[in-house]
Amino acid sequence: MKIVKVIIGSLCLANSASAFAPTHCTTSTHRTSSSSLHADVAEAESDVASITTDPKEAVKLFGRLAEKYIMLDATAGMCCYSACSDCEYREPGGGYRMADQSSARPKWIPTYDHRAFGSGKEHTTKWNTDIFTEGPAVTKEQFVERVINMEFAPPLGGPYMAKSAADIEDESAAAALFDILAGEKEKLTRHRMGKEMKVLSGGEEGVTWNNFSTALGAK
């Protein structure tokens, strides 16, 4: 009988405590280092699900931000590329992990702002140089203006767009890209842009047209 009374008393105490609890709760947006990248990707896809962009307008942005060169894995540069049977730099599909890659046309938006290898190779991205010209953060207005003023080159992927036809008159796609990258923040930092690009790329070192067009709803 005493045990029953103790249990009932505990329940009453719990109910009394809950009466003083807030009627709402907040969810922390902080992610620990063990959070899965897949969860970030799923959240990003959910956030942009309602965005729809004309593919031609999206390719105008991609052709400004994408590059012909990207730096990948610094250790891969140690490979002799002689098809050794026990090579640690071989991919499961038979290819090699590469230190860097080049393309005839702009193909990737690197997820880093600047990268340097011990070999002496280094690369500063277009978006870092052309967008963050006066500091580590930009407003939406600054972002849109600077992206529009970046030089365009017909990229690899998306509908073909000649340079002469790539002027941006409708700023909505650039504004939507800012919202994707900055979230609810009033300013976009260099660090956050790289971080969000990494999410859009699915954890790869560069955002391809497929990643980019999906994020902007330009399919």
Residue 115, φ and ψ in degrees, nearest 5: -140, 140
Give the separation between CA 200 and CA 215, rounded to whole angstroms: 7
> How far is 68 from 65, CA to CA, in rounded Å?
10
pLDDT at 209 over 70: yes
The answer to whether the predicted template modeling score (pTM) of the entire model surpasses 0.95 is no
Mean pLDDT of 207-218: 97
Of 194, 198, 205, nearest in space to 98 by CA:
205
How far is CA 1 from each of CA 7, 9, 140, rounded to the nearest angstrom? 10, 12, 67
The C-alpha atoms of residue 190 and residue 137 are separated, in whole angstroms, by: 6
Distance CA 108, CA 105 (A): 9
Could you report the per-residue pLDDT of 119-157, keeping only the tens digit for each? Answer: 899 999 999 999 999 999 999 999 999 999 999 999 999
Mean pLDDT of all residues in the chain?
A: 81
Phi, psi of 202 (to 5 degrees): 75, 25
Encode burial over 70-96: b for 16+ CB neighbours within 10 A, e otherwise: bbbbeebbebeeeeeeeeebbeeeeee
Compute, in degrees rounded to 10, the torsion defined by CA atoms 198, 204, 210, 211: -20
Distance CA 124, CA 136 (A): 14
Q: pLDDT, tens digit, for every residue of 61-72?
A: 999 999 999 999
Q: What is the pLDDT of residues 58-108, one digit of tens each?
A: 999 999 999 999 999 767 556 666 667 777 666 666 666 678 999 999 999
